[in-house]
């Protein structure tokens, strides 16, 4: 990814400058969506996977990216669905991530809510996105449906 993805990222891509070898090296856990031919289609990493905020436990995505040449084909839905399944495995009430403003339509479409989360500082230029309740369940259902469809 670190050799093939950077040239495919557009100039305004929020992932410009990311090196997944470094991101995964700092993360407590990371997951990848990998094809049968070992080509990585997407990843997410969590430096501190869970956080107790607003009297709830959240699963926190530190970084998430779909391969630049595979965007807009449903893989982002699948990756977020995978993170919702992971949140459930850890007993979390929601998924929390910080994202660039240009991703608002994508996260809104999936049922995410852009809001301040008490006690969670968001990096400059990013917004906090929360998936909980119905939106979290919807992500898990999307995950299951996409897996049932297969390749």
Over residues 40-84, the pLDDT tens digits come to 999 999 999 999 999 999 999 999 999 999 998 889 999 999 999
106-138 pLDDT per residue, tens: 999 999 999 999 999 999 999 999 999 999 999
- 32 three-class SS: strand
Q: What Cα–Cα distance (Å) separates residue 93 from each residue in 6, 8, 29, 38, 121?
A: 34, 35, 19, 32, 19
Is residue 144 very low, low, confident or very high in pLDDT (cuts 50, 70, 90)?
confident
- pLDDT computed for residue 150 by the predictor: 62
- Measure the CA–CA gap between 27 and 38, rounded to whole angstroms: 21
The yes or no reply on domain 6-149 and CATH 3.40.630.30 is yes
Across the range 101-109, mean pLDDT stands at: 92
Q: Which runs of E-coded beta strand occur in 63-110? A: 63-66, 94-99
How confident is the model at residue 134, as a pLDDT? 92
In the predicted model, is pLDDT for residue 2 greater than 90?
A: yes
């Amino acid at each position: 990814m670190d050799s093939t993805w950077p040239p495919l990222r557009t100039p305004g891509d929020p992932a410009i400058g990311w090196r997944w070898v470094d991101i995964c090296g700092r993360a407590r856990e990371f997951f990848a969506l990998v094809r049968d031919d070992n080509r990585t289609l997407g990843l997410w990493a969590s430096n501190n996977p869970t956080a107790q905020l607003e009297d709830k436990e959240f699963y926190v995505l530190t970084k998430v990216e779909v391969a630049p040449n595979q965007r807009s084909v449903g893989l982002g839905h699948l990756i977020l669905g995978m993170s919702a399944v992971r949140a459930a495995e850890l007993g979390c009430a929601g998924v929390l991530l910080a994202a660039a403003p240009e991703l608002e339509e994508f996260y809104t479409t999936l049922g995410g809510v852009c809001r301040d989360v008490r006690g969670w500082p968001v990096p400059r230029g990013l917004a906090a996105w929360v998936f909980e309740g119905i939106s979290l369940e919807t992500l898990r259902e999307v995950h299951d449906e996409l897996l049932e469809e297969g390749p």
